[in-house]
Amino acid sequence: MAKVHFTDFEGATQVIEATTGDSVMETAVRNGVEGIVGECGGSLSCATCHVFVAAQDFEALEPMEEMEDEMLYGTAVDREENSRLSCQIKLCAEQEIHVTTPETQV
């Protein structure tokens, strides 16, 4: 079972067991994790599933594609080095990942 550790901007963490093949955004939306909106449903059009990925997990991810990089310029809270759009992070079996959600996605 893949696992996602969601930490909100105030430091509260919840751990969600995820379905392999789902994205981090889908995992959040299905489990009602606040702090991720995912308004467009994963079509890279809204930038409301912005997360900061923990350093040790960030390196292990597939590098982002150009369009995700472009959309990260449209996030409500400014992007940082470890920013990703969580709709583009698909979970592998047994993968464990730690992400922090920004104060707002609006």
User: Which residues are near another protein by CB under 8 A?
Assistant: 37, 39-48, 66-67, 70-71, 73-74, 76, 105-106
Cβ atoms 42, 87 nearer than 8 A: yes
Alpha-carbon gap, residue 76 to 93, rounded angstroms? 31
Distance in Å, CB of 26 to another protein, minimum: 12
Distance in Å, CB of 25 to another protein, minimum: 13
DSSP 3-state percent helix, strand, coil across the chain (nearest 5): 20, 25, 55
Nearer to another protein, 37 or 89 (CB): 37
Q: Collapse the DSSP code of 30 into the 3-class scheme (helix H, G, I; strand E, B; otherwise coil) and give the result.
A: helix
| Chain centroid offset of residue 10 CA | 17
Distance in Å, CB of 67 to another protein, minimum: 6
Nearer to another protein, 58 or 69 (CB): 69
